[in-house]
């Protein structure tokens, strides 16, 4: 993959992938998420993400909203366990405008208290909306079960009673501690001259160089599987099982991506979909997911079904897990599944916004970007024997935690 990089004197890194397009996609990814919050400040990272749009030293919230909207552009942001991302898409001729705006809200937000008071109400509503969706909420509760007593298990949205107490000073303290230049990557996908791009980021992203701080992240402690049932009085039973899994740098990471895709990925031919939905007609949706972090990971299977079918569905899930543990895939089956995963990745890469976001996150985590051919070679190198070893480790019955909403 052809890309260009540059590091500003203050430590902010720039990565640019040329792309012949009328639209520029750009943004800032910051190595700060909900796992970096103190226990008594849960939800702070997501709260800051919202407040970035509410005023800077030179702009009010209305000016921020209209700066790109008035020229047909879009400005957005999200918070995850380990990152905060602010990004934009805009016509090529307004690229500098987007870069300047993102730089302003990331580096110069002033978190006015009157805006905090209004925005907290909005976030509280977001939390309530989320609580009304058991098929989403169960993932958060399961993460807390899987990573008990560790910040990586905390709900990203935070706790209502804590959010109501947050102030301008709280926001400034969090940003000063975590929004540090060496922890930031500015990414650009578009048809731009790189020398001009460097001049823009030097103009807008330059700050005083700060002393590099040692990361305060601590890896999760030892894991003990748990089985929990919560009465939610829902029409369906919502069920999730899973285990801790490989981190972003583990040599088996690509193998688990492939294995998870086979088991319950987005394809209608996933093993779980074929069994629970197509063959037995018991569920509308069943899926498995694998989420790696910098020092740990999680893998899970989720389904929702009528109460009378819950035990049968759970047994069918275990049947598929047992097959993968005990029976290596045939050469033909493995070849088919590899082609499927590579094809899914190729199609996903056609989404320019997804590509730009992946550009920033990959450079933040690995300091490089692998092209599709490199990823294909990594997938092709995975053997049936390796997948069986991974299945026996991650799908180990004795290591699986279970959470049910009934």
| pLDDT at residue 250 is higher than 90 | yes
User: What residues have CB less than 8 Å from 338, skipping those under 6 apart?
Assistant: 258, 379, 380, 382
pLDDT score for 339 = 97
**Coil, strand, or helix at residue 244?**
strand
pLDDT score for 84 = 98
- Note whether 150 and 80 are same-domain residues: yes
Contact between residue 189 and residue 357 where contact means Cβ atoms under 8 Å apart: no
> How far, in Å, are 17, 175, 183, 190, 319 from residue 24 at the CA level?
10, 27, 23, 5, 47
Q: pTM of the entire structure?
A: 0.94
Q: What is the mean pLDDT of residues 204-216?
A: 80
CA–CA separation, 174 vs 151, rounded Å? Answer: 15
pLDDT tens track for 81-108: 999 999 999 999 999 999 999 999 999 9
Q: What is the mean pLDDT of residues 163-183?
A: 95
- Note whether 175 and 265 are same-domain residues: no
- Note whether 171 and 269 are same-domain residues: no
pLDDT score for 291 = 98
CA–CA separation, 272 vs 262, rounded Å? Answer: 9
Q: Which long-range contacts (CB under 8 A, 24 or more apart) does 375-381 make?
A: 375/254, 375/342, 375/345, 376/342, 378/254, 379/254, 379/258, 379/338, 379/341, 379/342, 380/338
pLDDT score for 275 = 98
Domain that holds residue 296: 227-405
Contact between residue 338 and residue 375 where contact means Cβ atoms under 8 Å apart: no
Read off the tokens for 134.
């058991």
pLDDT tens track for 136-149: 999 999 999 999 98
pLDDT score for 131 = 87
Q: Please, which pLDDT band fits residue 356 given cuts at 50, 70 and 90?
A: very high
Angle CA(350)–CA(355)–CA(356) in degrees, nearest 5?
A: 140
- Note whether 198 and 231 are same-domain residues: no
Count CB neighbours of 3 within 10 A.
18
Q: What is the mean pLDDT of residues 41-66?
A: 96
Contact between residue 183 and residue 216 where contact means Cβ atoms under 8 Å apart: no
Q: Is residue 110 part of a domain?
A: yes
pLDDT tens track for 19-31: 999 999 999 999 9
pLDDT score for 200 = 98
pLDDT tens track for 342-355: 999 999 999 999 99
pLDDT score for 215 = 76
Lowest mean pLDDT among 206-215, 227-236, 322-331: 206-215
> How far, in Å, are 118, 139, 174, 310, 330 from residue 163 at the CA level?
12, 21, 14, 37, 53
Q: Is residue 53 part of a domain?
A: yes
Query: How does DSSP assign 17-71, residue by residue?
Result: EE---SEEEEEEEES--GGGS-GGGTTHHHHHHHHTTSBBSS-BHHHHHHHHHTT
- Note whether 231 and 153 are same-domain residues: no
| pLDDT at residue 123 is higher than 90 | yes
Q: Is residue 218 part of a domain?
A: no
Residues of the chain with pLDDT > 90, as a percent, come to 95
- Note whether 197 and 232 are same-domain residues: no
- Note whether 198 and 52 are same-domain residues: yes
pLDDT score for 130 = 87
- Note whether 159 and 278 are same-domain residues: no
Contact between residue 255 and residue 382 where contact means Cβ atoms under 8 Å apart: yes
- Note whether 190 and 280 are same-domain residues: no
- Note whether 123 and 176 are same-domain residues: yes
| pLDDT at residue 213 is higher than 90 | no
pLDDT score for 368 = 96
CA–CA separation, 267 vs 270, rounded Å? Answer: 6
pLDDT score for 191 = 97
Number of domains in the chain: 2
- Note whether 72 and 198 are same-domain residues: yes
CATH (domain of 136): 3.30.830.10
pLDDT score for 207 = 82
Q: Please, which pLDDT band fits residue 210 given cuts at 50, 70 and 90?
A: confident
28 HSE (CA, 13 A, CB side): 25
């Amino acid at each position: 993959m052809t890309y260009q990089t540059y590091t500003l004197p203050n430590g902010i890194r720039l990565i640019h992938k040329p792309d012949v397009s009328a639209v520029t996609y750009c943004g800032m990814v910051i190595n700060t998420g909900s796992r970096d919050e103190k226990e008594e400040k849960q939800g702070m990272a997501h709260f800051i993400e919202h407040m970035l749009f509410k005023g800077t030293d030179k702009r009010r919230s209305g000016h921020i909203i209209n700066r790109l909207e008035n020229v047909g552009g879009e400005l957005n942001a999200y918070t995850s366990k380990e990152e905060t991302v602010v990004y934009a898409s805009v016509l090529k001729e307004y690229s500098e405008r987007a870069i300047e705006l993102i730089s302003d809200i990331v580096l110069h937000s002033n978190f006015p208290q009157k805006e905090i008071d209004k925005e907290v109400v909005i976030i509280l509503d977001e939390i309530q909306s989320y609580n009304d969706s058991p098929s989403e909420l169960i993932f958060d509760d399961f993460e807390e079960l899987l990573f008990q007593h560790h910040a990586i298990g905390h709900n990203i949205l935070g706790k209502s009673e804590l959010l109501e107490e947050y102030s301008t000073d709280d926001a400034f303290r969090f940003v000063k501690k975590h929004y540090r230049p060496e922890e930031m990557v500015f990414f650009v996908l578009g048809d731009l001259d790189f020398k001009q791009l460097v001049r823009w980021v030097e103009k807008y992203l330059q700050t005083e160089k700060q002393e590099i701080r040692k990361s305060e992240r601590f890896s999760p402690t030892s894991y003990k599987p748990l089985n929990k049932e919560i009465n939610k009085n829902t029409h369906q039973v919502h069920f999730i099982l899973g285990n801790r899994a490989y981190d972003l740098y583990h040599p088996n990471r690509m193998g688990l991506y492939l294995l998870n895709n086979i088991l319950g990925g987005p394809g209608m031919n996933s093993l779980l979909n074929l069994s629970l939905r197509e063959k037995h007609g018991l569920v509308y949706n069943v899926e498995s997911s694998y989420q790696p972090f910098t020092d740990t990971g999680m893998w899970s299977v989720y389904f929702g079904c009528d109460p009378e079918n819950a035990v049968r569905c759970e047994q069918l899930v275990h049947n598929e897990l047992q097959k993968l543990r005990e029976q290596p895939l045939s050469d033909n089956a493995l070849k088919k599944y590899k082609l499927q995963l590579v094809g899914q990745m190729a199609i996903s890469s056609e989404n320019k916004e997804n590509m730009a976001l992946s550009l920033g996150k990959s450079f933040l985590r690995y300091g490089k970007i692998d092209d599709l051919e490199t990823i294909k070679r990594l997938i092709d190198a995975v053997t049936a024997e390796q997948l069986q070893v991974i299945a026996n480790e991650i799908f180990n019955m004795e290591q699986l935690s279970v959470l049910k909403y009934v």
